[in-house]
Amino acid sequence: MKPELPLEVYSPDLGNPNDPASIAVDRLNREQAAQELARLAATIAYHDRLYFQEDAPEISDADYDALVVRNRQIEARFPDLRRLDSPSKRVGAPVSKGFKKVKHRVPMLSLENAFTLEDVTNFFERVGRFLSLAPAQTFAVVAEPKIDGLSAALHYQNGKLRLAATRGDGSEGEDITANVRQIATVPQVLQGKNIPESLEVRGEIYMNRSDFFNLNHQRVQEGEAEFANPRNAAAGSVRQLDASVTARRPLRFFAYYYEAISGDTTTTHHECLQNLENWGFSVASEIRLCQSLAELAEFYTEMNGKRADLAYDIDGVVYKVDELAWQRRLGSVGRTPRYAVAHKFEAEKAETILEEINIQVGRTGVLTPVARLKPVTVGGVVVSRATLHNADEIDRKDVRAGDHVIIQRAGDVIPQVVSVVLNKRSAASKEFVFPNCCPACGGEVVQIPGEVARRCMNRLLCPAQAVEHLRHFVSRDAFDIEGLGIRHIEAFYQDKLIQSPVDIFTLEERDKVSLTPLRAREGWGSQSANNLFEAINERRTISLDRFIYALGILQIGSVTAKLLAKHYRTLPVLVEAMQQAQDPTSDAYRDLLNLDGIGESMAEDLLSFFHEPHNLAVIHKLQDQLLIPEFIIETAAESVLSHKTIVFTGTLEKMSRAEAKATAERLGAKVAGSVSKKTNFVVVGADAGSKAKAAAELGVEVLTEEQWMEICNGLVKK
């Protein structure tokens, strides 16, 4: 049963031209406007509750914003019809602030997903290759259930719980100590032997299914909204500012690994789990030490069968290399460790009606068709939209408005339309015609040869792209400005307050002399305006990698942005190098392509970005507003390898090329693909060819694999 679902939420008959919800704002009469304001107030309140309290949004931010904007436009035409419960009074209200931020000493990573046995085989083989294991060598892997809750880090000092934090963005979470102290299965004081003096236990906060049903039952009796599923219930309960509310919620905690800061001699993951149990933690009971892929596959099948009988929700199983020394060697790439993988269960499916196909315009102008669905519950969550990917996909599946469709949802993945139930199709249904002009700006839509996507070519002149560009600029891995969410971005864009990234940083200055300052806007006050200015000012100092990522250059994600920041170190050096590299015969161009991780197509996108005068002007204006310090590579300590450029050549016998590269980077070095006068060391394996020769000619220091291993063994922390 849905939480207090107001009838108006899904009732608009958008196909009916007489339904007020289908009528453009400037054509609504008074009566229709009043009806629409009532519907919008109920609908927005409903989505606010799902978003802020249940942690279970049903619609995208863009769709939510469209409702808010429509409400505001109608109110502007009929100010006297504004309702006492108008949503415009609430927009800009502070979002669950109040928890202190906690920086994670060691980042809280997430897991790469595997959906098929082939993906798992690839994971297995990758591990073997990285560690240079013999092809037939087997190794121990621990298989565990993947609990569907929210992860937390618990810090113990001398066996006493001192701090608990959410994962947050992986680098920084929220201090939830007071709430975690209320969870019965979290030991306040550890028991048993060999407890490390300083210990960080990580695990999942979750709710048993039966407790979740009881809680919802009780909430209905008390006239409160139900939670959509146990995970949302657990997340909503942990996020309570009042810990006495958390105390009344039946939360539990499973520990799944720990980081000992000192004094631990355990060498395998399965022993760690044993230690956790001995110290008083709950550890999931269905855990198995496997020796082969076949054993993992068996575990997966068994767990899939048992899934419904377990007391708690799981959405897959997790495989972790057992040897801790190997885990350390494998390290991580981006936000995921190389030593573990999540093998997800098959997506849950449901049938519903596809009401309409809408087109969304993304940051890079790509037009994405999105299915608006008759809301349906899939795996405990109400789904009302699903992606259709692109025009080819619509053609291939022959999806049409009005069709009965099968949709699926896998974990956090956006719901997808799997297929059409053809025998339920109406004879009157019509094939979908992909628009040839942009729905946001009317601009020409082009299909670039070799690409499936169709794009609007109006770039920042297209309001949808400009808004998405701004949204990317302030997003989590970019400027991460608290309180400047998509709703504000869109409203500020429409009102011409923020149209380009630099406007964010001049907002306060302009606001001081504005006749309509922010504090006087609907839903804002002095406090919320000052909070926003403060959040913006906090980001005037930004690291180079975040800055590069924020620029939104095609193909340049946060990993590549970091690579560029590491290599060029400062913004002026990067800009200068990109200018010089416009000439494909230049050293700068060779230098760019020589970066391990930058291919020709990426280089092309980078260079065309830096070729565009408009982009350079934006960068220069931003430079006036910001402080971008020289990029410092975080290494344990300065070492003989810090800031050095290394080239590997020939076959390494003790370490795979991937491990050698990862180790060098961890020690502060850069790895290049070819030898130049900037190379500091060439590590020569067996059968080295021209690169060893080039090193000799250029007088670059050559290391044997043994010498390289010696340097590493001396520097890598055990």
Are 303 and 317 contacting, i.e. CB atoms less than 8 angstroms apart? Answer: yes
Q: How far is the CB of 131 from ligand IVH (least distance, A)?
A: 18
Q: How far is the CB of 204 from ligand IVH (least distance, A)?
A: 5
Q: How far is the CB of 328 from ligand IVH (least distance, A)?
A: 12
* Cα-only R_g, the chain: 28
Sign of CA dihedral 160, 164, 170, 171: negative
Q: How far apart are CA 15 and CA 17, in angstroms?
A: 6
Are 336 and 278 contacting, i.e. CB atoms less than 8 angstroms apart? Answer: no
Q: Which residues pair with 645 in a beta bridge?
A: 670
Residue 199 structure tokens: 């210990």
Q: How far apart are CA 686 and CA 394, in angstroms?
A: 52
Beta strand 336-337 with 332-333: parallel, antiparallel or unpaired? antiparallel
Residue 161 structure tokens: 């719980």
Residue with smaller CB distance to ligand IVH, 59 or 317: 317
| CB atoms inside a 10 Å sphere around CB 461 | 11
Q: How far is the CB of 287 from ligand IVH (least distance, A)?
A: 8
Q: How far is the CB of 83 from ligand IVH (least distance, A)?
A: 41
Residue with smaller CB distance to ligand IVH, 335 or 643: 335
Q: How far is the CB of 322 from ligand IVH (least distance, A)?
A: 13
Q: How far is the CB of 437 from ligand IVH (least distance, A)?
A: 40
Element spanning 327, H or E: helix 324-330
Q: How far apart are CA 339 and CA 371, in angstroms?
A: 37
In the residue annotation, 424 being an active-site residue is answered as no
Are 456 and 444 contacting, i.e. CB atoms less than 8 angstroms apart? Answer: yes
Residue 56 structure tokens: 């279970």
HSE, side-chain direction, 13 A CA sphere, residue 232: 23
The residues near 74 (Cβ < 8 Å, ≥ 6 apart) are 25, 28, 33, 36, 37, 40, 81
Give the three-class secondary structure for 204: strand
Residue 362 structure tokens: 């993304």
| Residue 657: φ, ψ to 5° | -60, -40
- Least Cα distance to 215 among 177, 252, 185, 242 occurs for 252
Residue with smaller CB distance to ligand IVH, 109 or 675: 109
Give the three-class secondary structure for 215: helix
Using Cβ positions, the residue closest to ligand IVH within the complex turns out to be 151
Residue with smaller CB distance to ligand IVH, 333 or 452: 333
Q: How far apart are CA 214 and CA 201, in angstroms?
A: 29
The residues near 530 (Cβ < 8 Å, ≥ 6 apart) are none
Residue with smaller CB distance to ligand IVH, 55 or 75: 55
Residue 50 structure tokens: 């799902």
Residue with smaller CB distance to ligand IVH, 308 or 513: 308
Q: How far apart are CA 555 and CA 509, in angstroms?
A: 34
Residue with smaller CB distance to ligand IVH, 60 or 110: 110
C-alpha distances (whole Å) from 2 to each of 13, 214, 240 are: 20, 15, 21
The residues near 336 (Cβ < 8 Å, ≥ 6 apart) are 109, 110, 111, 112
Q: How far is the CB of 183 from ligand IVH (least distance, A)?
A: 16
Given 146, 344, 566, 670, the catalytic residue: 146
Q: How far is the CB of 236 from ligand IVH (least distance, A)?
A: 16
Q: How far is the CB of 310 from ligand IVH (least distance, A)?
A: 13
Residue with smaller CB distance to ligand IVH, 54 or 148: 148
Largest CA distance in the chain: 86
Q: How far apart are CA 149 and CA 147, in angstroms?
A: 6
Residues that bind ligand IVH (CB under 6 A): 109-111, 144, 146-147, 151, 167, 204, 256, 318, 337, 340, 342
Residue with smaller CB distance to ligand IVH, 109 or 228: 109
Residue 112, Cα to own-chain centre: how many angstroms? 12
| Residue 454: φ, ψ to 5° | -110, 140
Residue with smaller CB distance to ligand IVH, 187 or 316: 316
Residue with smaller CB distance to ligand IVH, 381 or 535: 381
Are 350 and 407 contacting, i.e. CB atoms less than 8 angstroms apart? Answer: yes
Q: Which residues are catalytic?
A: 146
